[in-house]
Each structure stands twice: as structure tokens, then as C-alpha cells.
Amino acid sequence: MTAEARAPRSRLDPEPVTRRDVLGLAALWSAITALGFGLIGSLRLPRAAVLSSPSKKFRVTLPDSLPAGQAFVPPGRAVALFRDAAGVYAVSLICTHLGCVVKSTPTGFECPCHGSRFTLDGTVARGPAPQPLPWHKVTGGGGEYVVDEGANVPQGTRLQA
Amino acid sequence: MSEQERSSSALREFARNLRQAPRRFLETVFRHGPPRTDRTRSTFVFGNVFLHLHAARTHRWSLRWTTTLGLGLVTAAAFVITLVTGVLLMFYYKPYPDVAYQSIKDIHFVVPTGLFMRNVHRWAANVMVVAVILHMARVFYTAAYRAPREFNWVIGMGLLVTTLGLSFTGYLLPWDQLAYWAITIGANIAQSPREITDALGITDWADIGGLQRQLLLGSDVVGEEALIRFYLLHVMLLPLLLVALLAVHFWRVRKDGGLARPADADRRLGPPPADAYPVFTEAPRKTYQLAAVVRGRTAAVGNGPEQTVPSMPHLFYAELGVFMLTTLICLALSLWIDAPLKELANPNVPENPAKAPWYFLGLQECVSFSAFMGGVGIPLIVLAGLGLIPYLDREERGTGVWCGGPGGWPLVRWATLFGLAAAIGVEAFAIRCGWLREWFPDIPQLVITFVNPGTLLAALYALFSLFVVRKQNSVRAGALALFTCFLCGFVVLTIIGTYFRGPNWEFFWSPADWPKH
Ligand code: HEM
Ligand code: FES
């Protein structure tokens, strides 16, 4: 078919794909692929490999006079330590809802942010918190203890005093 | 001519050129002379890289102040004000924990005009948020999102989200108690998909929530990493994104043929007033050639330019007026109320109550029932719903008219009534009677995630507007109902969150009743 036999093209008609376009398309797609991989690669950067958070383990001395069932909150830490007949345990004070620090009361814990309430062992009693307050691992003995905020233990686990 | 004469004539020319230099300089800056004729008024617009985001002529419908209430411009003006004052604040602000607080304190108490600039920045940011929401409502109620403007509506949603992002990231910068706890909560909302993954037991290998939070904070606490990230977002990435989106937004307004107007706009407008500068003194030469490459109807083809007036001066002076008004509002507010600054952030003692910025308090109200639904689920549903509007409503009746379309004003009035009643009713019930956790302490979290006052309200609204779609036999009517309902819900929840929630997020009739601690 010769060029003259074709109907005249209007300038609104799409142009047919020519051989040149193969190269053009290859260039386009390699650029898009490179951009895509570049994007994924650079998104890895903001995800820190080492988290600059303060040490999660700390040492604490429980006062001898601490009555059973009363919370002891070491200054600057969001953990409540308890001592009862069965031993010593540590309950996290970070609300499982959105991370506010809960206040310890004689009957349990209260969150100031959206009103979650927890019983003394951390079970959710009210409000939006989806999970109980976790218990942290406690080691040591003789009044000196090490609490590891990074390690959780099942509710009810106590360290024999 | 002798050697001497020639050099003296060159000297004379030098002197003359020197004398004329200032005027010539001005002429080279403004190449086309003062905008006094039809032609120079046009070149004034398209001869200027910034102004030519506008068309050279503007339809009279766009200039009626009831068409837009100037709201988009108020938003843009407020943004420009935050830009200028923000750059000034950057002279002193240092993005490092504790130091940040000291630097804001310096700005607040020591830096000359520091307090004023800080006030203006903060007030302009608030004005921007209010205006962007109202602007969106204006576009919705005048059905101005319809073809060919669908995509510009989507761009607008990007602008809405970016504006909220700017505000949210700015909120952390003072590093006071208010800032610290609002961001702690915000970052944990980003983590709240864990509510679902925990319930399904897949958090260990699909921890989307944890990843989001970690990307935001760069650490697992709100600390120095978080502050520098928020700072970067606030002063660089989000403003750049906003400017880019704005450029597309404005450009498309022009390319979509100016602002939406009713099909019978010309009849409604009547003849142009005698003092307008309406008629072409010269016939346009170029427009019709362009018609070959522009798809669809353009403003100039087939419609005639009768109802258009030159953008300079009619449009530009109106814009300048809105800009000055916005500035006035921001300045007045700044002289009247100072930006708050609480104590230095203390990671061990939360503010009580810890409240997000006011425009997020409606969400915080939902969050106080379920972190995931309130913070992620419902916002995503709302955004998806908003984005779909122009693709679902493809009717033609009512474009460019307030509450246009089937149902009209009466429908909007009913929807307002329903929206307010449902929101107040559901809230009153939840506040009086509590919710599932209080009645059945052992209920699985997943049930509460999906059945809570927030989702209940959304479901009520959805049912109501489905009913309206059927009754009016029109998608637009349903959209009118749904949008109105959500707006009412937003207002009610925001007011409750702002004025009626006290310590422990409990309900109080007035802050005077808050327990003292
Ligand atoms: C390029 C544009 C901007 C720059 C360079 C900028 C810069 C800054 C800086 C340095 C601060 C810290 C000083 C301070 O807290 O007073 C700040 C705070 C803030 N910014 Fe911006 N900002 C910009 C735009 C915006 C926008 C568009 C919004 C919101 C719509 C916004 C909302 C805020 C808020 C709410 C604060 C906290 C103000 C306070 O309490 O002090 N900013 N901004
Ligand atoms: S953070 Fe504790 S209830 Fe929301």
C-alpha cells in the first residue's frame, strides 16, 4: 500500500507507532524503572537501622516499707513495681491505647488521655485500650532489682523475693 | 565632522542615555505599558509569569462574590502569610529537644516582634485550615467538581491533606507539653493498625502500624529524631509539595474554562453594567487556531466573550482585596490572642487532658472509642468517599448553583437536622451509658473496633443518604445528604472534643467543673 492510497490523516488522529518509538518506549520505561527503584532505595534511608532510644534496662531499689499491693514508680520511668507475698513484679505504665502514661491509683490505673482504666494487674476495665498493660521482666533480688522494659512476661509472673 | 565633534556627540549621547536610564529600565521591566487599553490589559496578564496563571479575561459569573465567597483565595493568602512569618521564625528556631523549647521561649519573650510573628504564623495556620475546609464545602455545594473539573477536586484533596499535615508537623515544634503529647498520640495513631493485626495475630510479620510509626519518629520514642523529621517535613517537604499542588490546582482552574457556572449563567447575569469594561475593542486573532489542539469546549469557542471582563483590573483588585482582608483578620487575631506555650515537654507526665489541635479533636473523639477506626479507618473512608464524589455524581442539573441539584436547599436543611441529631444522639448515648467494653469486659477487641460510636454514626449517615438517593432518584441528592451529614458530625464531635472533654477525657458541661489536681 502506498502512502497516497491512505485516507488523509487529520492532525487529531493518533500517529501510528513507528520503528523509532521502540527506542523511545525503551528509554521511557527504563527511566520509569530506574525512578521506581531509586524511590524504593531512598525510602530505605528514613527507616533507621539503629533506634536511638534510651536504655530499656534499669536498676531500682525497692523501699523495705513498701506495703503489699502498693505501686512504687521509680522516678523518670513509666513502670510500676509491686511486692506482695508471692514476689516482685513490674507493670508497664504506658497505655496500650495511644501511649499516654497512666496514673496509678489504689485500685488500679487511670489513663488521662481517653479515660482507659486498668485493674491492679493491668487488665482493661474500661475505655478504648485494646490490650492489658504488659508486665516487664524483673531480675535481681534482696531489695535490688533490674527491670527490662524491652522484655515482657506473661501476666502473673513474679520474681520470688 | 572633526575628531573633536564626533567625541563630543558620543558624550552627549552618553549623558542622554544616562538620564533616560531609569525610565528605560522601567520600560524593560513592564514591557507593554500601563494596562489602560484592552490589549495592554491582556498583555499585563500573559506577559507576566506569575499572573498568567490567570486567563486574560474573566467571566462575570466568577466575579460575583457569592460564587466563591473568596474562600480559595483566603486559603492561599493564609498560606503566603505562614510562609513569610515561618521563614522569619526560622532565624531563631533550633530543632533540638529542650533547645527548641528555649528558642521558642526566646522568640516569645525576647526577640523583637518575635511574639507577634509567632502569633501571626499560628493564626494564619488556623485560618488556613478553616478556609481550606470551607473552600471544599463551597466547591461541593456549588457542584463545581463536575466534568471537566473532576481531577482538580482530587488535587484539592491532596491540598487538604497537605495543609493538615503542615499544621500537625508544626504543632510539635515548640516542644512544650501540648506539643509533646499531641504528637505522642498522633504517632501512636499511625501505629494503630496494630489493633487489627494484633487481633488477627499477624503483627509479627505484617506490622504496618509499627513501620508507620517508626518512619514518622525515626525511633521508638518521641525524641530528637522525631523532632528533626517533623521539622524537615514542616519547613521543606510539605511546603514544597503544597506549592507544587497549588500550581497544578490554579493552572487547571484556568484550563478547565474558569470557575464552574450554570448553563444559563448569561441569562441570570443580565446585561453587563455600564461601568464595566466589557467589550473587545479588537477581535481576538489567536484563539481559534488553538481550538484545533484543545479538546472540548473552550471559553472562547462558541460562547463569545460577551460576559467576560478583563482580569486586570476586575479580578486582580478583587484578589488583592481578599488578600488584604485575610491579612487583616490574621493581624487582628494576633493582637488579640497570643499563641500558647506550656511548660517544657515532660515524657513522664502527660498533659491532662492531652488534646490534639482543635481540627483533630473530632477525630480524637472517635479515637477515644477505637484507635484504629477513629484515627485511620474513618478518615480513610471519608477521604475515599470525598475522592469518589466527582466520579459518582455525573449529573448535570445544578452545576454552579448553591445546593444545586435535586433536593436542593430543603434537602440540605433536612440533612443538617439529621446529621446534628444523629451525632448528638450517638454521643449522648455513649457518654451516658458507656460502650461495649463496660458492659461485656471480655468482649474481643475486634468487635469494638468495628462496632463503636464512630462507625455507628458513619453507618447511620450512609443509610440516610442511600435512602435519599432512592427517594430523589439522584446520586447528587445522596451526595448532598452525605456531605452535609459528615460536616455536621465533624462540627458536633469537634465541639464536644474542644469544650466538653476534661481530665481523663471525661464529659464536663464546662471547664469550670474540672476537678482540681
Ligand atoms: C514554608 C512554610 C512554613 C515555614 C518555613 C514554617 C516554619 C515554622 C517554624 C520555624 C515553626 C516553629 C516556630 C514556632 O513554633 O513558632 C513553625 C511553627 C508552626 N507552624 Fe509553620 N511554617 C510554614 C508553614 C506552615 C503552614 C502552612 C502551617 C499550617 C497550615 C503551619 C503551622 C504551624 C504551626 C501550627 C506551628 C506551631 C506554632 C507554635 O505554636 O509556635 N506552618 N513553623
Ligand atoms: S492513651 Fe490511654 S486511653 Fe488513650
Same domain, A24 and A91: no
Q: CA-to-CA distance for B446 and B193, rounded, in angstroms?
A: 12
Amino acid B134: pLDDT: 96
Which residues, including other chains, have CB under 8 Å from residue B93's CB and lie 6 or more apart?
Answer: B100, B103, B104, B107, B173
Which residues on chain A are in Cβ contact (under 8 Å) with B438? Answer: 126
Amino acid A155: pLDDT: 86
Phi/psi-derived region of residue A146, left when phi > 0, alpha when psi is between -120 and 50, beta in every other case: beta
- The secondary structure of residue B276, as a DSSP letter, is S
Q: Is A14 an interface residue toward B (CB < 8 Å)?
A: no
Q: Is A73 an interface residue toward B (CB < 8 Å)?
A: no
Which residues on chain B are in Cβ contact (under 8 Å) with A112? Answer: 350-354, 503-505
Q: What phi, psi does B147 have (nearest 5°)?
A: -45, 135
Interface of A with B in 101-130 (CB under 8 A): 101, 110-115, 124-128, 130
Segment of A139-153, B70-84, B214-228 carrying the highest mean pLDDT: B70-84
A117-119 and A108-110 beta bridge pairing: antiparallel
DSSP-assigned states of every residue in B311-347: HHHHHHHHHHHHHHHHHHHHHHHHHHSPPP--SBP-T
Is residue A2 over pLDDT 70? Answer: no
Q: CA-to-CA distance for B275 and B297, rounded, in angstroms?
A: 29
Rounded to the nearest angstrom, the distance between the alpha carbon of A94 and the centre of ligand 2 is 9
Ligand 2 atom closest to the Cα of residue A116 is 3
What nine digits make up the cell of A148? 527490662
Amino acid A6: pLDDT: 66
Amino acid A142: pLDDT: 75
Same domain, A71 and A96: yes
Taking only the tens place, the pLDDT of each residue in A8-30 is 777 777 776 666 678 888 999 99
Q: CA-to-CA distance for A41 and A37, rounded, in angstroms?
A: 6
Average pLDDT for B479-493: 94
Question: CA angle, corner B77, sides to B124 and B308, nearest 5?
Answer: 155
- The secondary structure of residue A127, as a DSSP letter, is S
Domains annotated for chain B, with CATH where assigned, are 52-273+310-350 (1.20.810.10), 352-517 (no CATH)
Which residues on chain B are in Cβ contact (under 8 Å) with A53? Answer: 219-221, 223
Same domain, A80 and A146: yes
Taking only the tens place, the pLDDT of each residue in B121-130 is 999 999 999 9
Is residue B59 over pLDDT 70? Answer: yes
Is residue B423 over pLDDT 80? Answer: yes
Q: Is A6 an interface residue toward B (CB < 8 Å)?
A: no
Average pLDDT for B82-89: 97
Is residue B1 over pLDDT 80? Answer: no
Predicted structure pTM score: 0.85
Does residue A126 form part of some domain?
yes
Amino acid B279: pLDDT: 52
Per-residue confidence band for B133, with pLDDT thresholds at 50, 70 and 90: very high
Does residue A112 form part of some domain?
yes
Does residue A161 form part of some domain?
no
Same domain, A84 and A106: yes
Is residue B300 over pLDDT 50? Answer: no
Taking only the tens place, the pLDDT of each residue in B367-383 is 888 888 888 899 999 99
Q: Closest CB to A100: pick one of B192, B199, B350.
A: B350
Is residue B4 over pLDDT 90? Answer: no
Q: Which residues pair with A134 in a beta bridge?
A: none
Rounded to a whole number of angstroms, the distance from the CA of A136 to the nearest CA of chain B is 17
Which residues, including other chains, have CB under 8 Å from residue B15's CB and lie 6 or more apart?
Answer: none
Is residue B303 over pLDDT 50? Answer: no
- Burial bucket for residue B267 (CB in 10 Å: 0-12, 13-18, 19+): exposed
What nine digits make up the cell of A95? 497505655
Residue A45: closest CA among chain B residues belongs to which residue? B215
Which residues on chain A are in Cβ contact (under 8 Å) with B219? Answer: 48, 51-53
Q: Is A131 an interface residue toward B (CB < 8 Å)?
A: yes
Q: CA-to-CA distance for B327 and B83, rounded, in angstroms?
A: 13
Angle, to 10 degrees, between the axis of helix B475-499 and the axis of helix B408-433? 40
Amino acid B305: pLDDT: 55
Domain count, chain A: 2
Q: How far is CA B134 from the centre of its chain?
A: 8
Same domain, A74 and A15: no
Does residue A99 form part of some domain?
yes
Q: How does the average pLDDT of chain B come out, rounded?
A: 87
Question: CA angle, corner B437, sides to B432 and B438, nearest 5?
Answer: 45
Average pLDDT for B227-239: 96
Amino acid B275: pLDDT: 65
Is residue A124 in contact with ligand 2, taking CB distance under 6 Å? no
Collapsed DSSP state (helix, strand, coil) of residue A137: strand
Buried b (16+ CB within 10 A) or exposed e, B215-253: ebbbbbbbbbbbbebbbebbbeebbebbeebbeebbebb
Which residues, including other chains, have CB under 8 Å from residue B1's CB and lie 6 or more apart?
Answer: B9
Rounded to a whole number of angstroms, the distance from the CA of B150 to the nearest CA of chain A is 24
Per-residue confidence band for B276, with pLDDT thresholds at 50, 70 and 90: low
What nine digits make up the cell of B504? 481523663
Taking only the tens place, the pLDDT of each residue in A103-137 is 888 888 988 888 888 988 888 888 788 889 999 99
Contact B291, B301 (CB under 8 A): yes
Does residue A21 form part of some domain?
yes
- For an interface test with A, give the residue of B198, B437, B449 to mutate (most A CBs within 10 A): B437
Average pLDDT for A87-110: 89
Does residue A48 form part of some domain?
no
Q: How many CB atoms lie within 10 A of CB A27?
A: 10
Rounded to a whole number of angstroms, the distance from the CA of A145 to the nearest CA of chain B is 21
Same domain, A8 and A64: no
Q: What is the CATH number of the domain that holds A137?
A: 2.102.10.10
Amino acid A17: pLDDT: 67
Same domain, A74 and A36: no
Ligand 1 atom closest to the Cα of residue B357 is 35
Average pLDDT for A72-84: 87
Q: CA-to-CA distance for A57 and A50, rounded, in angstroms?
A: 17
Average pLDDT for B273-291: 54
Q: Is B274 an interface residue toward A (CB < 8 Å)?
A: no
Is residue B73 over pLDDT 70? Answer: yes
Long-range contacts, B408-416 (Cβ 8 Å, 24+):
B411/B468, B411/B472, B411/B477, B411/B480, B411/B481, B412/B141, B412/B480, B412/B484, B414/B481, B415/B464, B415/B465, B415/B468, B415/B480, B415/B481, B415/B482, B415/B484, B415/B485, B415/B488, B416/B484, B416/B488
Same domain, A79 and A130: yes
As a whole-number percent, the residues of chain B with pLDDT over 70 amount to 93
Amino acid A1: pLDDT: 44
Same domain, A134 and A73: yes
In this complex, do B348 and A127 lie within 8 Å of one another by their Cβ atoms? no
Taking only the tens place, the pLDDT of each residue in B310-332 is 888 889 999 999 999 999 999 99
As a whole-number percent, the residues of chain B with pLDDT over 90 amount to 50
Contact B259, B318 (CB under 8 A): no
Q: CA-to-CA distance for B234 and B228, rounded, in angstroms?
A: 10
Q: Is B434 an interface residue toward A (CB < 8 Å)?
A: yes
Is residue B297 over pLDDT 50? Answer: no
Q: Is B203 an interface residue toward A (CB < 8 Å)?
A: no
Q: CA-to-CA distance for A98 and B187, rounded, in angstroms?
A: 8
Q: Tell me the ipTM for this assembly.
A: 0.81
Q: Which residue has the cell 482552574?
A: B253
Q: Is B335 an interface residue toward A (CB < 8 Å)?
A: no
DSSP-assigned states of every residue in A20-42: HHHHHHHHHHHHHHHHHHHHHHH
Is residue B347 over pLDDT 70? Answer: yes
In this complex, do B348 and A48 lie within 8 Å of one another by their Cβ atoms? no
Domain that holds residue A23: 2-43
Taking only the tens place, the pLDDT of each residue in B160-190 is 999 999 999 999 899 999 889 888 888 888 8
Residues in chain B: 517
Pocket test for ligand 1, best of B234, B333, B343 (most atoms within 8 A of CB): B234
For ligand 1, atom 22, which residue shows the shortest CA distance? B86
Same domain, A84 and A143: yes
Average pLDDT for B11-32: 91
- Host H or E run for residue A126: strand A124-126
**From edge to edge, which strands make up the β-sheet containing A117-119?**
A103-105, A108-110, A117-119, A124-126
Is residue A116 in contact with ligand 2, taking CB distance under 6 Å? yes
Q: CA-to-CA distance for B202 and B217, rounded, in angstroms?
A: 23
Is residue A161 over pLDDT 90? Answer: no
Average pLDDT for A142-147: 84
More confident residue, B442 or A81: A81
Instruction: Determine what percent of chain A falls in helix, strand and coil, rounding each to the nearest 5.
Output: 20, 30, 50
* Separate counts of helices (H) and strands (E) for chain B: 24, 2
Question: Which residues have CB under 6 Å of ligand 1?
Answer: B 79, 82-83, 86-87, 89-90, 93, 104, 118, 121-122, 125, 128-129, 163, 166-167, 170-171, 173-174, 234-235, 239, 339
Rounded to the nearest angstrom, the distance between the alpha carbon of A7 and the centre of ligand 2 is 73
In this complex, do B348 and A115 lie within 8 Å of one another by their Cβ atoms? no
Same domain, A14 and A65: no
Name the residue type at position B129: V
Amino acid A160: pLDDT: 77
Q: CA-to-CA distance for B397 and B178, rounded, in angstroms?
A: 48
What nine digits make up the cell of B248? 497544578
Nearest ligand for residue B330 CA: 1
Same domain, A141 and A63: yes
Q: Which residue has the cell 470557575?
A: B259
Contact B272, B278 (CB under 8 A): yes
A135-141 and A108-110 beta bridge pairing: unpaired
Interface of A with B in 45-64 (CB under 8 A): 46-48, 51-54
In 3D, which of B486, B372, B57 has the Cα closest to residue A131?
A: B372
Q: Is A94 an interface residue toward B (CB < 8 Å)?
A: no
In 3D, which of B141, B136, B139 has the Cα closest to residue B159?
A: B136
For ligand 1, atom 12, which residue shows the shortest CA distance? B173
